[in-house]
Amino acid sequence: WLWLWLWLWLWLDLAEPMCNIINSCLRDGRFPSLWKREWVTPVPKPKQGQELKTCDDVRKVASTSDYAKVFELFLRKWITEDIGHNMDKNQFAGRKGAGTEHMLVLMQDRILGLLDRPGMNAVIKASVDWALAFSRTDPTKTIAKFVKMGVRASLINVLIDFLEDRKMSVKYNSEESKLYSLIGGGPQGSWTGQQAYLVASDDNASHISQEDRYKFCDDLSILEIIMLAD
């Protein structure tokens, strides 16, 4: 209980200055520079025991300031209100009330529906994983997509500033690297970083019918029915 009271006291004490900072950022179209720093933990992708040879063998999971997380909660709510109805309905990441279990149930239902069609049928499923998806996102194109999809004008400058002049240091085994400037991409592990990627990649499978594509962040599954016989 003591820790709970201390936590409540701390946040109540910070509520007013945080409110002033966030309101100031919204008025000026800024995202505080100190809140744009990322502490990255490299998470190995290969199976246990395999050697890490390149940066492609690790997943870059970014931790950001707690103050940034508070601001991003508001940004996420407003952005979702503005563009939620325009997002690909078969993108199951970053949506309230949706997750991998919903994607798998709908995909299985679609597969069984295709197999129930008259004749001898088979269903082919192809899986795509976009390599280094967050790191390779172009901030300029991302902002253009935010505008196109209908994000309110008052947030655009904040989002531009969020993606500009980001800094990163790497933490591994209690050691931390020097600070590096990032030339693009977005933080993998933050609300706004995830939204930026989802918006940038929203139409990356638009040429495939909606009922045959299933996405979870940077993973894409495609279904195709094959007629084995008449």
According to DSSP, the residues that pair with 42 across neighbouring strands are 60
Q: What is the mean pLDDT of the chain?
A: 85
d(CA 220, CA 96): 19
Direct distance between the N- and C-terminal alpha carbons of the chain, in angstroms, rounded to an integer: 71
**Helices 153-163 and 191-200, packing angle to 10 deg:** 100
* pLDDT(230) > 90: no
Q: What is the pLDDT of residues 36-84, one digit of tens each?
A: 888 888 877 766 666 666 666 777 778 888 889 889 999 999 999 999 8
User: Cα 29 to chain center, whole Å?
Assistant: 22
Torsion on CA atoms 196, 200, 203, 204, rounded to nearest 10: -110
d(CA 81, CA 78): 5
- SS3 label, residue 179: coil
Of 169, 170, 159, whose CA–CA distance to 137 is shortest?
159
> How many Cα atoms occupy the beta-carbon half-sphere of 80 within 13 Å?
14
pTM of structure: 0.81
Q: What is the pLDDT of residues 153-174, one digit of tens each?
A: 999 999 999 999 888 898 878 8
Q: How confident is the model at residue 143 (pLDDT cuts 50, 70, 90)?
A: very high
The angle at the Cα of 165, spanning 161 to 169, to the nearest 5 degrees, equals 125
d(CA 26, CA 18): 12
